[in-house]
Amino acid sequence: MAKRILFSAAFFLCACILHAQELQSKVTVLATRVNSTVDKTVFTNLQTQLTNLINNRKWTTDVFLAQEKIQCNFFLNIESVVEDNVYKATLTVQAARPVYSSSYQSALVNFQDADVTFKYINFQPMEFNENRVQGSDAEASNLTAVFAYYIYMILGFDYDSFSPKGGADYFQKAQNIVSNAPESRNISGWKAFDGTRNRYWLANNITDPRYNTLHDIFYGYYRDGMDHMYEDQVTATDNVIGALEKIQDFNQQFPNTMIVQFFFQNRSDELVGIFKNAEPSVKSRAVQLLSQLDVANLAKYKDQLK
């Protein structure tokens, strides 16, 4: 894995160093919908064990510094009890990376997974083995498989944003989890037939060779666009427009892929901020592109990018 080269003095002591980041994660387990007869300390312990798994495990082979860790949040909301010690939940995953020469964090991942079923018994060890994704108990191993999948996705998007196609190894690790995912009647989200916006399709979109241009788009948006916003706003804004034009071309060639919706999820405020002070012609082009790519927020773009 090629290590990323970062340049901002706002975050580092020297202008050019080789390094990589890992995770500084906050995990929140919410169980307000679970029957009061269930011992809620189970979920407190689950939260602690998941936090330790993510933050204490070495997920990459690269050297990293404390200030370089990727900030991320996982919100596991327990929706119901399927059977004894087996729970149905939604998982919201959020991760961001810093923009050079600023305190701003640009989102890498902001996604809700509604298909997380898992088994957890109080004080059960929380471990992940990428060589044996499905353990002897499918429901018990499903939760760590889901978390590991999103961790590798976060790492993949982070590395892609700093070097061309830099996240390939981590996207492949996520794909390997999909290929070897736990299976049972209660588990979903890992198969193509489980839906059109799930873990299978996200991994498929980001590793399919036909969609290789996506990696150039991510790099162009973050590294050529966002990272230069504070030193040369005009050029950086043009580069963001260029990335959006490439997304439009991709979307026309491969309509209705999950990855386009995934990219624009909760990004409208950031995009408005990028273009609100741009020249009228640039604003007009941005609204034209976003009206096709992020239809859900069309009214916002038209109102705030007049």
Q: How confident is the model over 216-272, as pLDDT tens digits? A: 999 999 999 999 999 999 999 999 999 999 999 999 999 999 999 999 999 999 999
- pLDDT given at position 22: 80
Q: Provide CB contacts within 8 A for 221, sequence distance 6+.
A: 161, 239, 240, 243
**Single pTM value for the model:** 0.91
Token pair 């492949």: residue: 172
What pLDDT band is residue 306 in, cutting at 50, 70 and 90?
confident
Q: Provide CB contacts within 8 A for 295, sequence distance 6+.
A: none
- pLDDT given at position 12: 39
Separation CA 188–CA 102 (nearest Å): 40
Mean pLDDT of 147-154: 98
Separation CA 239–CA 220 (nearest Å): 7
Q: How far apart are the first and last CA of the chain?
A: 44
- pLDDT given at position 95: 97
CB 89 within 8 A of CB 76: yes
pLDDT greater than 80 at residue 43? yes
